[in-house]
Structure 1
Amino acid sequence: MNENWIKVYTSSDVFAAEVLKQGLEEAGIPAVTINKQISAYNIGEVVVMVNKSDFDKAIEYIVQNEIE
């Protein structure tokens, strides 16, 4: 991943991260998830990243939709 991507959300819940990614994409904000969990135990985190130029829009989307 190049330096133009920035983290906007971290969770231990894969489903929540994927739902957020889908919501961001539907709002016109390209997003990716990076799963850093140890799959056998679901220990670790899942990160949602967006392009730096979309960071403010992504944070606004997260706040408007009350995503924790």
Structure 2
Amino acid sequence: MENDWKKIKIYTNAIQAEIVKQMLEENGIPAVILNKQDSSYLFGKIELYVSENSVETAERLIEEVGGEN
């Protein structure tokens, strides 16, 4: 991943993380999910990243739609 990507949220639910990622992309903000969950037992975290220059806009959008974990 490029150096200008910043982690903005941590999720435990992969579906919720994907929904927020899709919402951001629909609003013109590229987003990446880094899934660090164990595939067998589903513990661990799922991290959502956006580019450094999109952090404020992404956080505002997430707050507006109630996509917090």
TM-score using structure 2 length: 0.94
For residues 4-19 of structure 1, what are the structure 2 equivalents within 5 Å? 4-19=4-19
Task: Provide the C-alpha distance between the structure 2 equivalents of 1:2 and 1:26, rounded to a whole number of angstroms.
Answer: 22
2:62 paired residue number: 62
Following superposition, the deviation at residue 8 of structure 1 comes to 1.1
Secondary structure at 1:38 match in 2 = coil
CA distance in 2, matches of 1:14, 1:40: 14
Q: Match of 2:54, as an amino acid?
A: D
**What is the Cα deviation at residue 2 of structure 1?**
2.1
Q: CA deviation at 1:47?
A: 0.6
1:9 Cα offset (Å): 1.1
Work out the CA distance in 1 between the residues paired with 2:38 and 2:50. Answer: 23
Q: Which amino acid aligns with 2:28?
A: G
Gaps of 5+ in 2: none
Query: Tell me, what secondary structure is at the counterpart of 1:48?
Result: strand
Q: Percent identity?
A: 37
What's the secondary structure of 2:6's corresponding residue?
Answer: strand
Pairwise CA distance, 1:48: 0.7
TM-score of the two chains, using structure 1 as the length reference? 0.96
Q: Which runs of 5+ in 1 are unaligned?
A: none
